[in-house]
């Protein structure tokens, strides 16, 4: 069995991957991680070359990027020699959209000989499978979901729009750089109690091994605050983190939760 | 000369149209209007049929819709008989996007025999003409404007997106139902001091007689609060209200203002 390392960001995902099988947990300076493993490595983005060498010496062949990570701020004084040589490439990658940045990072990891594995390869049970999980899909929610899907499909070629909020056919918000929580806060402030839907789905061309949309209990709480009635994810296109909590919270908030084709 | 009525919403537009020539000012219950005319009619959306009759009795043949109007909340107890008969049609129209709603309203007005005239027919000087009005268009602002134009062009067929904010190639916000000011407030809160651009342009298929995008001094103040550097409108596709104030405020805020083809 290949030896695996989890390159961890925030949230519940790294811990749930560690529970599914032995792996080295790699944390990054400045990125808080909520997980514990028998073997941990503390790394810095400025010292990626040292990290690669260390992982190879441990016999790691498989990497999984998991959890929310911000765009790093590089401290030039902390650079190791190997990473300094990579800097022109890394700086160019940082100028790009999220997809472009991730593609550059993955290319780098693959060149080093690592295989990239997706969180849902390790925990297929996290992946939303088609069907209604909580509540009932009314005709109104269905209509709003169709509208949201059409808007996101139109935007996808522009590398924008992992989510949208629609109520009674009106587009209340489209997800942009600040992310889902910021969008839901906007809806709470500008269009409270609309009873609409939140749709989350991957953009076309998004690398689902490393950037699958995820929802968790916080998503449901924010939706409740925004006065929404339904959450639609794409079947096979979203991770549901802390599923028991998500389902319980959606049920008690009266929020319909379904994975559409 | 045809006798004209201004169906007025909020903002500076109705008053500037009244200054350009004689007209009856029609205000609607619940919609505050900042304008005065020698002849005024107070109307209600629930009593459109009565309004039509009154306008015809005054010899009005030309209508101009001007200023910001919210989607009306109908009070069924206030309906007159003629408008009650129109309700199925009006309710269906209210389920649609802004363009659909306006198309339905205009069809109704034209059926009544009125001609629809645009604010820029009355005041052509309000329309943005091609060129840089304030500041200089840097390569960075130009690049962000191209990105914003591509995103809005992709969205236009969906009847969404009269505006977007882009900084360093990243899409920070897309205008939705709550409008431009709400979008700029969102940017101020989530991505302050980005130095990016606000683009405002009509959607494809938007009826520019009744729904031309407009900017005013408040737009510039909100942009300054949001830390933006440039405002791009479409030449011939935006009204600039209180132009002197807009230009002075943009200049003092260091905001480039231009109308692109």
State whether residue B55 sits within 8 Å of chain A by CB. Answer: no
B129: pLDDT strictly greater than 90: yes
From chain A, pick out residues whose CB is under 8 angstroms from the CB of B177: 170-172, 190-191
From chain B, pick out residues whose CB is under 8 angstroms from the CB of A169: 95-97
- A12 by DSSP, 3-state: which? coil
Question: What's the confidence (pLDDT) of residue B74?
Answer: 80
Q: Looking at chain B, how many residues does it have? A: 261
B144: pLDDT strictly greater than 90: yes
Nearest to A155 among B95, B155, B172 (CB): B155
Nearest chain B alpha carbon to A186: B186
Choose, out of A93, A162, A170, the residue to mutate when testing the contact with B (most B CBs < 10 Å): A170
* Rama region for B179: left / alpha / beta (φ>0; ψ in -120 to 50; rest): left
C-alpha A176/C-alpha B96 separation (Å) is 24
A258's enclosing H/E stretch is strand A256-260
Shortest CA gap A196–chain B (Å): 13
- On whether the CB atoms of residues B197 and B173 are closer than 8 A, the answer is no
ipTM of the complex: 0.85
B231: pLDDT strictly greater than 90: yes
State whether residue A155 sits within 8 Å of chain B by CB. Answer: yes
Going edge to edge, which strands form the sheet with A256-260? A131-134, A256-260, A230-234, A197-200, A163-167, A170-174
Confidence of residue A89 (pLDDT cuts 50, 70, 90): confident
From chain B, pick out residues whose CB is under 8 angstroms from the CB of A157: 154
From chain B, pick out residues whose CB is under 8 angstroms from the CB of A99: none
Cβ separation of A178 and B190 shorter than 8 Å? yes
Nearest chain A alpha carbon to B185: A186
State whether residue B182 sits within 8 Å of chain A by CB. Answer: yes
Domains of chain B, each with CATH number or no CATH = 3-122 (3.40.50.20), 127-260 (3.40.140.80)
Q: Which residues contact A114 (CB under 8 A, 6 or more apart)?
A: A55, A60, A61, A62, A63
C-alpha A229/C-alpha A142 separation (Å) is 11
Confidence of residue B113 (pLDDT cuts 50, 70, 90): very high
C-alpha A193/C-alpha A79 separation (Å) is 50
Question: What's the confidence (pLDDT) of residue B101?
Answer: 79
When pLDDT is averaged across residues B3-10 and rounded to a whole number, the result is 94
What is the tens place of the pLDDT at every residue in B81-109? 999 998 888 888 877 767 777 888 899 99
Going edge to edge, which strands form the sheet with A40-43? A40-43, A24-28, A3-8, A60-66, A115-116
Nearest chain A alpha carbon to B152: A155
- Of B167, B168, B179, B178, nearest to B226 (Cα)? B167
Question: What's the confidence (pLDDT) of residue A203?
Answer: 84
Choose, out of B144, B157, B166, B186, the residue to mutate when testing the contact with A (most A CBs < 10 Å): B186
State the Cα torsion A188-A190-A194-A195 to the nearest 10°: -20
Token pair 């009847």 in the structure block, residue: B159
Strands B170-174 and B163-167: antiparallel
Highest mean pLDDT: which of A63-77, A93-107, B139-153? B139-153
Shortest CA gap A17–chain B (Å): 31
What is the tens place of the pLDDT at every residue in B193-228? 999 999 999 987 788 888 899 999 999 999 999 999
Confidence of residue A102 (pLDDT cuts 50, 70, 90): confident
Cβ separation of B151 and A160 shorter than 8 Å? yes
């Amino acid at each position: 069995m290949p030896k695996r390392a989890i390159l961890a960001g925030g949230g519940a995902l790294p811990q749930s991957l560690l529970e599914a099988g032995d792996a080295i947990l790699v944390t990054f300076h400045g990125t808080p991680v909520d997980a514990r493993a028998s073997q941990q490595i503390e790394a810095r983005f400025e010292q990626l070359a040292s990290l690669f060498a260390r992982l190879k010496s441990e016999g790691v062949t498989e990497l999984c990027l998991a959890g929310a990570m911000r765009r790093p701020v590089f401290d030039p004084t902390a650079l190791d020699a190997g990473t300094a040589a990579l800097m022109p490439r890394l700086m160019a990658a940082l100028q790009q959209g999220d997809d472009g940045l991730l593609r550059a990072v993955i290319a780098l990891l693959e060149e080093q000989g690592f295989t990239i594995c997706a969180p849902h390869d390790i925990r297929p049970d996290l992946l939303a499978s088609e069907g209604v999980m909580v509540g009932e899909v009314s005709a109104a929610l269905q209509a709003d979901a169709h509208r949201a899907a059409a808007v996101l499909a139109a935007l996808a070629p522009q590398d924008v729009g992992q989510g949208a909020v629609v109520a009674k056919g009106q587009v209340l918000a489209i997800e942009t750089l600040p992310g889902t929580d910021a969008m839901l806060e906007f809806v709470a402030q500008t269009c409270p109690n609309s009873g609409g839907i939140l749709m989350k789905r991957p953009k076309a061309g998004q690398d689902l091994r490393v950037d699958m949309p995820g929802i968790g209990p916080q998503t449901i709480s924010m939706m409740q605050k925004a006065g929404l009635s339904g959450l639609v994810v794409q079947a096979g296109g979203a991770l549901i983190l802390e599923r028991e909590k998500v389902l319980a919270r959606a049920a008690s908030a009266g929020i319909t939760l379904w994975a559409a084709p």
